Amino acid sequence: MKTLKFIVYSNLWISFGAFFLAYLVFAINGIETNFNYLFFVFFSTLFSYNLQRVSRLKQIKKSSPNAWISNNSTIAKGLLIASFFGALVTVPVFNYPFLGFWLAILGLISAGYSLKNLRGLPYLKIILISLSWAIACGLIPSLFLNEAPASLIIKNTLWVFLYILAITIPFDIRDVGIDEDHQKTIPQWVGIPKSKLIGLYSLVIALVPLFFLTCYLVFFGFIIAFTLAWLLIRDSFPEKQELYFSFMIDGHIILQFLLLFFLC
């Protein structure tokens, strides 16, 4: 259990999720996988998620003294430094200058979310998370295809955005009693039952671009994967154990990859 908590709460688990989601986009589109970029996604996700927590360390220690980071701040800071250099070494802008604009957008979102508290602005929290994942794991992998058509870029960006939106809703459900009222998260706005339906609708709509991107076998695999995602969303309640969200729901990204990769 101690090892599991380290992997999850150090943000290694979600970083592997980002790695495999971007990998899946390469695979389902038949694009040659750029592993340097995948490692950049891993390290930049690890840096971004740890930055969010380290930047609020005093606040977290005060409100949640038993939280993992409260008792392992040295490890978190070490991972923050290591992931920064990992992202710096693997940043693809030197070999692919055309990615510079989108990487800059990702950097601005990450910095604003972590340091300028953009997550506190009404309605923006889940949009910023979904948009950053859609750019990193959907849009940019599509650009590695020579002369990628705009339609392919839009479809990959759209399905990743909607998928991440759906599986992020449970985290807002978890935090419904913690988030300040002015943040206007989806559960605060429409209530928990309706927020789950928004998650379901997001998954259903995400299947539309996937229908045009994939063969029937892979599309059927996505239907199974999204059904599992819906079950996790449906069973999300504020009273659930933290690992239900941080391990199982985040782990769905990895499970989905394992289910679909060998069908591509």
* The pLDDT of residue 120: 65
Tokens of 60: 């977290």
What is the reported pTM? 0.95
Tokens of 214: 């994939």
* The pLDDT of residue 230: 98
* The pLDDT of residue 251: 97
* The pLDDT of residue 181: 60
* The pLDDT of residue 117: 65
Positions of the chain with pLDDT lower than 70, given as ranges? 114-122, 179-183
CA distance 64 to 242: 13
54 close to 47: Cβ distance less than 8 angstroms: no
Contacts with 209 (C-beta within 8 Å, 6 or more apart), sequence order: 154, 155, 156, 158, 159
Hey, what domains does the chain have and what are their CATH numbers?
Answer: 2-263 (1.10.600)
